[in-house]
Amino acid sequence: MKRRVALSWSGGKDSVMAFHTLAKKENLQADTLLTTYNESNNRVSMHGVRLELIEKQAERLGARLLKIPLPPDCSNETYSERMRKALRALEAEGVREIVFGDIFLEDVRRFREENLASINFRGIFPLWGRDTWDLAREFLKLGFKAIICCVDTQQAPAGIIGLEYSWELLDRLPSGVDPCGERGEFHTFVYGGPIFSEPIPVKRGETVLRENRFLFIDLFPY
């Protein structure tokens, strides 16, 4: 019998690759996705993607989506409090493990593990330690489709906003930019691939620069 786990879900390629990796494990079943979003605008934290697009991803994965609202400018304390509340609900269902798509940032992993340990949960990190170039190439070879939805213009070129995550994009990334955007250089929204029942039709809208640094593109379903 498979052990149920929940997966921290941003809608981006690392979440998708974590889900794909788990699907190959015979002893684990990720049937619940956890998504945090800004309660003032119904957009996913950091990525800026409309919550309705995340809902469409969950539908095409056949997974339940557990949505966790966060206030604007959310503190670590508020984040931890609201996440614990959501996890208590999962605990009542017998779920005690959360899967993350983190790859190499030690401080991020430590923060997650300390918060989970405080309520006797455990983190699973199926992508941890992977070479990010290998991971990026595997994502494309598997046939996943994604769009660059956010760029930190202090770390990556603004011109990649709205582009397909592709072999061509990887070729044009400056040498200091991680191909998976693991340091927050950019974020993605995945709209198609082998784990989805069908692609999500997406239109590109306007771009907006926030905090004189983070460039977002508005993506919406049609």
Inside any domain, residue 42 = yes
Claim to verify: residue 98 and residue 170 sit in the same structural domain: no
Claim to verify: residue 211 and residue 172 sit in the same structural domain: yes
Claim to verify: residue 110 and residue 66 sit in the same structural domain: yes
pLDDT tens figures, 107-164: 999 989 998 998 999 999 999 999 999 999 999 999 999 999 999 999 999 999 999 9
Inside any domain, residue 129 = no
pLDDT tens figures, 5-39: 999 999 999 999 999 998 777 677 888 999 999 99
Encode burial over 87-99: b for 16+ CB neighbours within 10 A, e otherwise: beebeeeebbbbb
What domain range includes position 102? Answer: 3-124
Domain with residue 29: its CATH number is 3.40.50.620
Q: What is the pLDDT, as a whole number, of residue 26?
A: 66
Residue type, 31: D
Mean pLDDT value across the chain:
93
Inside any domain, residue 134 = no
Whether the pLDDT of residue 57 is over 90: the answer is yes
Cβ(5)–Cβ(123) below 8 Å: no
Whether the pLDDT of residue 97 is over 90: the answer is yes
Whether the pLDDT of residue 217 is over 90: the answer is yes
Claim to verify: residue 20 and residue 113 sit in the same structural domain: yes
Task: Give phi and psi for 140, each to the nearest 5.
Answer: -75, -40
**Which pLDDT band, with edges at 50, 70 and 90, does 46 fall under?**
confident
pTM of the model: 0.94
**Which pLDDT band, with edges at 50, 70 and 90, does 194 fall under?**
very high
Claim to verify: residue 150 and residue 119 sit in the same structural domain: no
Inside any domain, residue 132 = no
Whether the pLDDT of residue 106 is over 80: the answer is yes
Inside any domain, residue 138 = no
Tell me the two tokens of residue 87. 């996890």
Domain boundary among 89, 124, 159: 124
